[in-house]
Chains A and B, each alone.
Chain A
Amino acid sequence: AQSVTQLGSHVSVSEGALVLLRCNYSSSVPPYLFWYVQYPNQGLQLLLKYTSAATLVKGINGFEAEFKKSETSFHLTKPSAHMSDAAEYFCAVSGVGAAGNKLTFGGGTRVLVKP
């Protein structure tokens, strides 16, 4: 079964500093991988997705992620944090075959941005 693991349930960064959120996946086949963000009292919003077209994926709000097969990783980065980046971030992997529309989320990483 497909799964993802997020390292670190909380990350604290200073405004203007690099944001790095870690995600490792387990999959028997080339995976489809996603990063979603959830702001307080809201649903989830897609930041970016990997679908094998390119290993470096650019998303919204200045985020990007790099797919590394050798490390089974899909870490999310942003060069300079803004206060508005404070939110919960979820890495996710989709199923395969008949379960292609089954999205499994990692445990989430809460980002705190300090002024």
Chain B
Amino acid sequence: DTEVTQTPKHLVMGMTNKKSLKCEQHMGHRAMYWYKQKAKKPPELMFVYSYEKLSINESVPSRFSPECPNSSLLNLHLHALQPEDSALYLCASSSTGGEGNEKLFFGSGTQLSVL
């Protein structure tokens, strides 16, 4: 199994809603990532978990809250989002996340629309 699975594929939410994005991998990878991609732009790193500990937070607003319950799962909790947060949210994983030369495996993303 070389897949990263993200759910849901599409999400529409209001600015007062609370929702969560989920990501799962069963490749035994120990690093997991959240990226945000606006239309026609490259992905931008949000968070990195390495061995289930948050290792990188790219100064993301607190309305985005990551969680790594175990080595296979990564969640992104959303609360009080703004319309400009509408984007494709990509999850990725890599073997250990420490060497810099690792291949990232990406999920297909969750397309989020904030109304």
Q: What is the 8 Å Cβ interface bit string for chain B, positions 77-115, against chain A (1 contact, 0 not)?
A: 000000000000010101001111111101111000000
**Is B48 among interface residues, defined by CB-CB distance under 8 A?**
yes
Q: Which residue of A lies closest to B102 (CB)?
A: A101
Number of interface residues of B (CB under 8 A): 28
Chain A residues contacting B43 (CB-CB under 8 Å) are: 44, 90, 105
Are A101 and B97 interface neighbours, CB within 8 A? yes
Whole-angstrom distance between the Cβ of A94 and the nearest chain B Cβ: 4
Chain B residues contacting A90 (CB-CB under 8 Å) are: 42-43
Instruction: Give the contacting residue for B55; candidates A41, A43, A44, A101; CB below 8 A.
Output: A101
Are A49 and B108 interface neighbours, CB within 8 A? no
Chain A residues contacting B103 (CB-CB under 8 Å) are: 46, 49
Are B42 and A102 interface neighbours, CB within 8 A? no
* Interface, chain A (partner B; CB < 8 A): 32, 36, 41-46, 49, 51, 90, 94-96, 98-108
Q: How far is the CA of A49 from the CA of B33 in the complex (A)?
A: 19
Are A95 and B100 interface neighbours, CB within 8 A? yes
Q: Total contacts A to B, CB within 8 angstroms?
A: 63
Are B106 and A45 interface neighbours, CB within 8 A? yes
Are A43 and B42 interface neighbours, CB within 8 A? no
Q: How far is the CA of A1 from the CA of B22 in the complex (A)?
A: 31
Chain A residues contacting B94 (CB-CB under 8 Å) are: 101
Say yes or no: A44-B104 contact (C-beta < 8 A), given A103-B45, A106-B42, A108-B41: yes
Chain A residues contacting B31 (CB-CB under 8 Å) are: 101
Say yes or no: A101-B106 contact (C-beta < 8 A), given A43-B90, A106-B42: no
